[in-house]
Structure 1
Amino acid sequence: MTDESVQLTRRGEVATLTITSKKGSLGPAFWRAVPGVLADLNGARALVVRGQDLFSVGLDVKATAPVIGPALGNPAAFHLVVAEMHAAIEAFAALPIPVVAAVHGWCIGAGLELIAACDLRLCSADARFSLPEVRLGITADLGGLQRLPHLVGRGRAAHLALTGLPIDAATAERWGLVTEVMPTLDALFARAEELAAYLATLPSKALEGTKRTLQDGLSHTESLHAAVAWNAQHMTAEGLLSALKRDGSSEPRPTP
């Protein structure tokens, strides 16, 4: 199954979802497509999520601005807009099968929030991770602030979220954001397929029960809604576009 922003392929009992948009940018087409694509797994027993030229530079601000702009200052309208993004990320977390994220290159903002909703995270040595929303005058509101403390600890999650600065693959492994770092892109994808194929051999109900039990500790709905409400009230189109113009791109600036 192929969409303009995602592609779903299958090898045996392992499905692979590839983000196919340029630089893995996550725009309205991606958020709309994901729930339907994930509903079309047809009995796959494990899923690998990966990028194409890199994993993801995060939210496609230019494509999303016309949708978000009219809702700014109106919490109810803003919630409706962001609900589509929440539904897409929650669709990964809600799958009853294991989801393995294979990250190479940049994994930024919404891309990082997406992999936080996956069950296992691997990366290649060139991977870089960043949650730069504060630089754009935004509070991350797609689940990253709720999930990352459970993965890396509150202090390290705060470092990512408050500074907006990137970390490299070795740091991500040391912090526990990823569990394995592979030397090359080919090795990364081979390892992700191997791990997913192994998971597909395990009892499906035991895996689903384990996932559900782990997720029971993530009571993040109220906090997530609070972040969305904050952005609806305090985020401005002018500030967002100004920050985007100042940075020139969504890729983080070098660490000072």
Structure 2
Amino acid sequence: MSRVSTVIDNHVAHVTLTRGDKMNALDTDMVEAIIAAGEALVDNDEVRAVVLSGEGGAFCAGLDLMNFAKFATQDPEDFVMKRTHGNANAFQEVSLVWRKVPVPVIAALHGVCFGGGMQIAAGADIRIAHPETKLAIMEMKWGLIPDMGGMVTLPHLMRADHLRRLTYTADPVLAPQAMEMGLVTELSDDPLKAAQDLAAKIALKSPSATRAAKRLLEFAETSDDEDAILHLESREQADLIGKPHQLEVINANMQKRAPVFK
């Protein structure tokens, strides 16, 4: 049974979690399918933006409860401590892979976005949510800690006390409150359409500049080395100035038309 679908149209990759009958809950097959979907976009030069969404009534309800029984029979050292994707295990990579995709990733959230679903959404660049969406860092409900890459992403989105409160309590919050906390970027009554419209807008920008911006932002958010940040800022800019994409942007602006990138 398919867990994820990817459709590329007009330079936008529409990645959909397709386990709607289970509220897109994460089993092992789905974790692997999400990682594969992200990895397939890393080297795809035709893609300029990604929309990440879930079919059915929810974005993602978190870990499939059936997995708890499966995990109870396994040595956690084998599936938690083993690094299978660089410095991460598979459950961490399901979130972090979206940071490795070199173009903006926009998550469209509805229904619930719990636990592992929250971690996946946190790996996106932007999160657009329906106002009635419920979000939670749910792991403490099951006697666990957030361990799907969230400790890499969430501290950059949220004030520390908000993050601690949601982590310690596992309390769900509605999207408007989550937006105040930094978990949600914006609200929309139709988050999927809003995400698609935003992706289409980004896809009209210089592909090379957009990718350079994501690289620079990623580095700046994770580095305390001011000299290195300033050097990379200059390096990325030098690689853009006067190049075909930048010249096409200038010409298109002067001629009041949409740019055409080759």
TM-score by length of 1: 0.76
**Number of residue pairs matched by the alignment:** 212
Measured after TM superposition, the shift of residue 68 of structure 1 is: 6.1
Cα–Cα, structure 1 residues 38 and 77, in superposed 2: closer, same or farther, change >3 Å? Answer: closer
- Whether the 8 Å contact between 1:28 and 1:64 is mirrored in structure 2 is no
- Whether the 8 Å contact between 1:7 and 1:17 is mirrored in structure 2 is yes
Measured after TM superposition, the shift of residue 87 of structure 1 is: 2.5
Q: Are 1:96 and 2:102 matched, yes or no?
A: yes
Measured after TM superposition, the shift of residue 137 of structure 1 is: 0.9
Measured after TM superposition, the shift of residue 67 of structure 1 is: 4.6
Measured after TM superposition, the shift of residue 76 of structure 1 is: 5.2
Note the residue ranges of structure 1 that are not aligned, 5 or more in a row: 220-256
Counterpart-to-counterpart distance in 1, 2:101 and 2:69: 29
Note the residue ranges of structure 2 that are not aligned, 5 or more in a row: 224-262
Bigger RCO (CA 8 Å, 6+ sep) = 1
What is the match of residue 66 of structure 1?
Answer: 70
Aligned pairs (5 A) from 1:18-97: 18-21=16-19, 22-41=22-41, 42=44, 43-53=46-56, 54-63=58-67, 65-67=69-71, 69-72=73-76, 75=77, 77-80=79-82, 83-97=89-103
Measured after TM superposition, the shift of residue 64 of structure 1 is: 5.6
Aligned pairs (5 A) from 1:1-256: 4-21=2-19, 22-41=22-41, 42=44, 43-53=46-56, 54-63=58-67, 65-67=69-71, 69-72=73-76, 75=77, 77-80=79-82, 83-183=89-189, 187-216=190-219, 217-218=221-222
Q: Percent identity?
A: 29
What is the match of residue 244 of structure 2?
Answer: none
Question: Per-residue CA shift, 1:186-227, capped at 9, x if unaligned?
Answer: x222111110011111222322222222222337xxxxxxxx
Cα–Cα, structure 1 residues 68 and 90, in superposed 2: closer, same or farther, change >3 Å? Answer: farther
- Whether the 8 Å contact between 2:179 and 2:186 is mirrored in structure 1 is yes
Counterpart-to-counterpart distance in 2, 1:212 and 1:169: 28
Matched residue SS, 1:141 = coil
One-letter code of the match for 2:60?
S
Counterpart-to-counterpart distance in 2, 1:204 and 1:132: 37
One-letter code of the match for 1:79?
M
Counterpart-to-counterpart distance in 2, 1:136 and 1:64: 9
Counterpart-to-counterpart distance in 2, 1:61 and 1:93: 27
Q: Which has the larger radius of gyration?
A: 2
Matched residue SS, 2:167 = helix
Cα–Cα, structure 1 residues 51 and 211, in superposed 2: closer, same or farther, change >3 Å? Answer: same
Counterpart-to-counterpart distance in 1, 2:222 and 2:120: 15
Counterpart-to-counterpart distance in 1, 2:212 and 2:73: 41
Matched residue SS, 1:122 = strand
Question: Per-residue CA shift, 1:116-172, capped at 9, x if unaligned?
Answer: 110011001220100121121111111213321211211111111111101101101
Matched residue SS, 2:212 = helix
TM-score by length of 2: 0.75
Counterpart-to-counterpart distance in 2, 1:18 and 1:77: 26
One-letter code of the match for 1:6?
V
> Mean alpha-carbon deviation: is it higher for 36-45 or for 85-94?
36-45
Matched residue SS, 1:70 = coil
- Whether the 8 Å contact between 1:68 and 1:78 is mirrored in structure 2 is no
- Whether the 8 Å contact between 1:149 and 1:156 is mirrored in structure 2 is no
Matched residue SS, 2:217 = helix
Counterpart-to-counterpart distance in 2, 1:68 and 1:90: 25
Counterpart-to-counterpart distance in 2, 1:157 and 1:145: 10
One-letter code of the match for 1:5?
R
